[in-house]
C-alpha cells in the first residue's frame, strides 16, 4: 500500500468520524471484533480449560473485581447471555459502553472531570468486587 493510499484512507476515516454513518460503522466493527473474540475464546475454552486465570483467586481463593470477565466472553461466545451477565455484570455494562461509545457515550465520558470519572470507576470496581465476593460465597447478602 502506497503512502498516498494510506493518506487518502486516513483522511477518509477522519471525515467519517464526523458523520453518523462513520459512528455506526465503528460500532459495527467493534461489535464484529468483539463477537469474533468471544467466539474464539469460547472455542479455545472448549478445547482447553486452564482453570482460574486470576492470580489473586488462584493463589488465595479470593476473587478480584475483574473475576468473571473472561467467563463473560466465553458465555457470550456460547450464546449464554444470562450466564455472561451473572459472571460479571460490570464487565457486560463496560463492554456495551465501549461498543456504543462512537454514538455519543464516549464524548460524554471524556467531558466528565477527572475526579468524577475516578469516582465512577471506583464505584464500578467496588460494585464488581462485592458481586464477585457474593458470587463465590464470601458474602451472604
**pLDDT for the residue 7:** 75
Q: Using 50, 70 and 90 to split pLDDT, how confident is the model at 63?
A: very high
Q: Is residue 111 part of a domain?
A: yes
Number of domains in the chain: 1
Instruction: Compute the distance between CA of residue 40 and CA of residue 77 in angstroms, rounded to an integer.
Output: 8
Q: Mean pLDDT over residues 28-46, rounded?
A: 93
Range of the domain at 119: 18-135
Nine-digit cell string for 54: 486470576
Assessment of whether the complete model's pTM goes beyond 0.85: no
Q: Using 50, 70 and 90 to split pLDDT, how confident is the model at 107?
A: confident
Helices (H), ranges, 18-113: 20-47, 55-60, 69-78, 81-87, 89-100, 105-111
Contact, 67 vs 55, CB < 8 A? no
Q: Using 50, 70 and 90 to split pLDDT, how confident is the model at 21?
A: confident
**Is the pLDDT assigned to residue 19 strictly greater than 70?**
no
Using alpha carbons, list the distances in angstroms from residue 109 to 35, 72, 103: 24, 23, 12
**pLDDT for the residue 52:** 81
Q: Is residue 6 part of a domain?
A: no
Least confident interval from 10-24, 28-42, 62-76: 10-24
Least confident interval from 18-22, 24-28, 51-55, 103-107: 18-22
- Mean residue pLDDT of the chain comes to 88
Helix (H, G, I), strand (E, B) or coil at 36: helix
Residue with C-alpha cell 476473587? 63
Amino acid at each position: 500500500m502506497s503512502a498516498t493510499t494510506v493518506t487518502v484512507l486516513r483522511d477518509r476515516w477522519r471525515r467519517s468520524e464526523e458523520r453518523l454513518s462513520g459512528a455506526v460503522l465503528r460500532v459495527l466493527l467493534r461489535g464484529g471484533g468483539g463477537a469474533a473474540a468471544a467466539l474464539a475464546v469460547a472455542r479455545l475454552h472448549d478445547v482447553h480449560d486452564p482453570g482460574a486465570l486470576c492470580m489473586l483467586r488462584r493463589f488465595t481463593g479470593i476473587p478480584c473485581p475483574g473475576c468473571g470477565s473472561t467467563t463473560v466472553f466465553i458465555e457470550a461466545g456460547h450464546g449464554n447471555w444470562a450466564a455472561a451477565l451473572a459472571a460479571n455484570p460490570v464487565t457486560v455494562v463496560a463492554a456495551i459502553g465501549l461498543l456504543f461509545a462512537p454514538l455519543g457515550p464516549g464524548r460524554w465520558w471524556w467531558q466528565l472531570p477527572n475526579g468524577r470519572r475516578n469516582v465512577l470507576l471506583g464505584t464500578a470496581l467496588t460494585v464488581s468486587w462485592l458481586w464477585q465476593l457474593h458470587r463465590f460465597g464470601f458474602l451472604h447478602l
